[in-house]
Chains A and B, each alone.
Chain A
Amino acid sequence: MKLKRSLAPTLLILTLLLGASLLYGLMQSLGYLTIIGEKELSLTAYQNLISGQGTAGREFWASLGFSLWVSIVSTILSAIGALFLATLLNRRPSNFDTFALNWNLAFPHLVWGVFMLLLLAQSGLLARWAGALGIIQSPADFPVLVRDRYGIGIILTYLGKEIPFLTLLILALLRTQSDGYLLVAQNLGANAWQRFRLVTLPLVRPALVSGSLLVFAYIFGAYEVPALLGVRYPRTLPVLALESFTNPDLRARAEGMAISLIIAFIVLMIAGFARAKEELQG
């Protein structure tokens, strides 16, 4: 049948590669390590994580907390920032705004992280300017904004990338759908704040929520930015996972793999939730 032939190449490649990768990962996390001749399956890696033992397991709960902190703060601030920016830009639509937002999307997260590092480090551009202006006496006086204990640098980097993304998402909706409704609301007596609260907000809420869940899922599973702009401790889960996975201690590998599967599981739950929500709304 023609339909099957059309779909087969894509579906086969994707499901085989994804399935096999996840299966191998799962086996590894269960201690099936052919390299050291280990062929018994066990839940040791997962038990270590939950009880906070083992090479990587010791850091698991701290890392989970840190990951949640970074992801939740970045997502909420991005959503608020995007809502504000989109409402502002929608007053006087211009293609230049759209171009600027798309321009930002073109920057790989890695490069954006480098930019933040050069800008905000204690010997970075802003510190040099502050020093030249005599605001600070030495680099050590400049606040620690990257590679800091609280993940400020990581959060700032994500804000720079996710605010434009969500803004574009909301703006597309506002520009195509909001004019008539806002006009009607004004016509029926609503002032600017009432129009925002009673029309704009409910209109963009579904898109903003599913967009934010997407952003959260991405940040929660991403490695590059926290690896570049984070500190040794606490580390985000993806950083802990990869560093354990490349650890010469082969038992740490199973734990690393287990962490990465837990991340995938959490991310899939969130994506599934977002999807179900979208479907409920039609």
Chain B
Amino acid sequence: MTTVTFTHISKTYPKADAPVLDDFSLEVQSGELVSLLGPSGIGKSTLLKLIAGIEKPDGGKILFDGESILSIAPNQREAVFMFQKAYLFPFLSVGENIAFGLKVKGFSPEERQRKVAEMLDLIGLPGIENRRPNELSGGEQQRVALARSLVIRPKVLLLDEPFNSLDRPVRLNLQEAVRNIQRELGITTILVTHDLDEAMAMSDRMALMMGGKVAAVDKPNILFQRPPCMETAKFVGVETFIEGVASSGTFVSAEWGELKIEDADKNGRAVYAIRPEHIRIQKEKCENALAGVVKNCIYRGAQIEMQIVLGERVLRAHLPAKNEILPAGEPVQVILPKEHLFIVR
């Protein structure tokens, strides 16, 4: 059981003009699965490399249970990786692969054999010790890689986009398996991903990374429904932002006039936002209704995506699939329900 703490980590690669990590701080509780989420190339993987000792930070500290690990050799850190590629040693059998970490630590053959069998049971692939890695499917290879990492009982598990190269059904299946095993063993885990769905499905908490630091960190449902700032809101799929002035329960924007809002004590300039699936379309007028014209309607199976011209702007709404598909040019009322309007920084 290990708590991982990052304080004020900074890192700039040689020859790069901007730092990849800039005053990055985060605490991962013991047994927790925290995902680092963000677009590619913003230092998520670098952070894992710093933990594993493959790279060194320029400044800041990394602590396991309050003790700095930066002076510990990379092969003694007990923070193990699972990569996008399984990297199962092609010249070893499945069993020998899993036993690799035990072998270098000097466990006896009997112990190795017993622990390997235990791990194979845990990952749901019992009895495949003697198979060769190239006889396994991609998903099975990743399971074996996970077993190889976990068999040495590491303090921290580092998942570096491990599901990326898998087909969707295999991916979902493996995500669930990894999550269950992680909970069962109670191992502190950091998941790096650019896939919002994956992060939401797996994490206890998600940390959204922007510009080398944590822009927001919270439980998945809170970050998804109420992202605190505009950048994070855009990342979780919010497209509609309204600038204006709030005063005692109303919000006035130059573009769309007066809208009702829930927080009555907010006054002054503000930006409000709404998720596309919270926008409603109907014929009749009501509170917070704006008159618009349908531009395009795309049927996406689970939902209908409707683009509506609203004054100068085109607004996108995700409607339940039971809604009617309207032809372009159709006049409609666009409802921005006040309970779904939230303020962003």
Contact = CB atoms under 8 A, between A and B. Distances in A.
Interface of A: 180-181, 183-191, 194, 198-199, 202-203, 205
Contact of B52 (A180, A187, A190, A203): A187
A189 B148 CA distance: 12
Interface string B80-122: 1101010101111000000011011100000000000000000
B149 interface: yes
Task: Tell me the interface secondary structure of chain B in the complex.
Answer: mixed
B101 A188 contact: yes
A186 B74 contact: yes
A202 to B, nearest CB: 4
B75 interface: yes
A189 B75 CA distance: 4
Contacts of B105: 189
A243 to B, nearest CB: 46
Contacts of A190: 75, 100, 104
Interface of B: 52, 54, 74-76, 78-81, 83, 85, 87, 89-92, 100-101, 103-105, 148-149, 152
8 contacts: A184-B87, A188-B75, A188-B148, A188-B149, A198-B100, A198-B104, A202-B89, A203-B90
A188 B152 contact: yes
A183 B54 contact: yes
B170 to A, nearest CB: 21
Given A187-B52, A187-B80, A188-B152, A181 B101 contact: no
Contacts of A205: 91
Nearest to A179: B87
A12 B304 CA distance: 68
Given A184-B81, A198-B100, 20 more contacts: A183-B81, A184-B87, A187-B75, A187-B80, A188-B80, A188-B104, A188-B148, A188-B152, A189-B105, A190-B75, A190-B100, A190-B104, A191-B75, A191-B104, A199-B89, A202-B89, A202-B91, A203-B89, A203-B90, A205-B91
Contacts of A184: 81, 83, 87, 89
A189 B83 CA distance: 16
Nearest to B52: A187
B100 A188 contact: yes
B91 A189 contact: no
A194 B81 contact: no
Contacts of B85: 180
A50 B81 CA distance: 62
